[in-house]
Each structure stands twice: as structure tokens, then as C-alpha cells.
Amino acid sequence: MINFALFSALSAFYFTMFITPGPNNAMLTTSGMKFGFIKTLPHLIGIPLGHIFQIALVCFGFANLFLIYPQIQVYMKILCFLYLLYLSWKMIGSFSLDKKDSGRPLKFYEASLFQFINPKAWSIAIAVASGFFPTEENIFIGISFVTITAAIICFPSISLWALFGSGLRAFINNEKIKKMTEYFLALLLVLTGLFILIKQSLIFIPPSTISLVKCISQKKAH
């Protein structure tokens, strides 16, 4: 049943997961520093949208794919690592506050699609579906509850990282500092990718997910 206690617990979980370091926040810090907060807004909007679709899919039973085909997790981690490696490579030599060829921030649909190869994002979705989904409610009401709450908590949480990166722009006032910043941000992206790649299992599927999917399927049947 949806109540204040469930909303508070879900909000606390979302806040903890969204504000802690991960691929999204590493990329937002980089984007905020390179392009500023305003130009990073499409990126910021795209992340919650991606989470909404992801959580809805898991609540509808999509998480079963990870149980049937566990190798999908491996492919996602590799794709995520390669993408972050590509971004780190683009970072070297491209940091400039003046040049027009210094790249561009992610568009909102690109940020949304990135969530589907982001293991941390899948972990959040599966944890929400298995631990916070109000099974007593209608399936659509339950999904609306967990997805709207995600959007409300996600945007301000991740915005702090973009604001942090944007705030650091004031200290980048000469070529030497720019070059050091390039390598620092590139290293941050590589380390984030390596953590994802070597982590044994970033997508933990609790046993309760199976029973949850059955419960949701029964509700859909009625």
C-alpha cells in the first residue's frame, strides 16, 4: 500500500543511489566543468527519463531476462566500459572554454539511452521493483508511484554533480590547469569504467524479484 512510510523509504533509497559516485555523476561532473550547468541541462533531463523507462520495464517483468540470460550483464559492463573509455579519450586535448571544436554535452535522448548499458541504473531499477513496489496497488498505479518518485529525487540529486563541475570552471584560467584538468577527468572516467568492468556482479537480482514478477503477472491477468 502506498503511504508516507513507503514514500520516505523509497525516497531515501533513491537519494542514496543517485547522489553517490557512478558513471552518470562522473559524466555530469565532466560536462559541468567543460560546458557549464545550463548546457548540461539536456543531459540532466535525460537521466531521469532513462530511469523512468528502465524502472517501468523491470516492474513489468523485464528483469527476468537477467535471470534467463545472465551473460547480458557481462555485455552491458563491457559496453559501458568502452563508452567511458571513448569519452576519456575524447577528453584528452579537447578541454577548452573557447574553442568550438571542444565537443558538446550529451543530448537528452543520449543520456536516456546510456542508462540501458549502465549496470548501476539496472541495479537501482531491480532493487526498487523487488523491495519497494506496492504490490497491493494496481500495476499502473504502482509503476506511476515508483517512477514519479524516481524523477522527483533523481534530478536534484544528480544536479549537484553538474553544479560542482560548473563551479570548478572558475579555477581553469590557464593552459597548464586546463591540461591537468583534462587528464584528471579522463582518469576519473577510466577508473569508473574499470570499477564497473572488474566488479563481479553489479546487478544483484534478489530472490524476491521472481515472486514479485509472478504477483505482477497475476494482477495483469485480472
CA distance 36 to 100: 14
pLDDT tens per residue across span 120-141:
898 899 889 888 999 888 989 9
Q: 28 and 105 in contact (C-beta within 8 Å)?
A: no
Which residues in 26-54 are b (16+ Cβ under 10 Å) and which e?
Answer: bbbbbbbbbbbbeebbbbbbbbbbbbbeb
Q: What value does the mean pLDDT of the chain take?
A: 82
**Whole-model pTM?**
0.79
The number of beta carbons lying within 10 Å of the beta carbon of residue 221 is 6
Per-residue pLDDT of 167-213, as tens digits, reads 988 777 677 777 887 788 888 888 888 887 776 444 444 444 445 44
Greater confidence (32 vs 73) lies with 32
Asked if 33 contacts 172 with a C-beta cutoff of 8 angstroms, the reply is: yes
Question: What mean pLDDT is predicted for residues 17-43?
Answer: 92
pLDDT for 208: 47
d(CA 80, CA 103): 20
For the chain, which residues make up each domain, given as ranges? 4-217
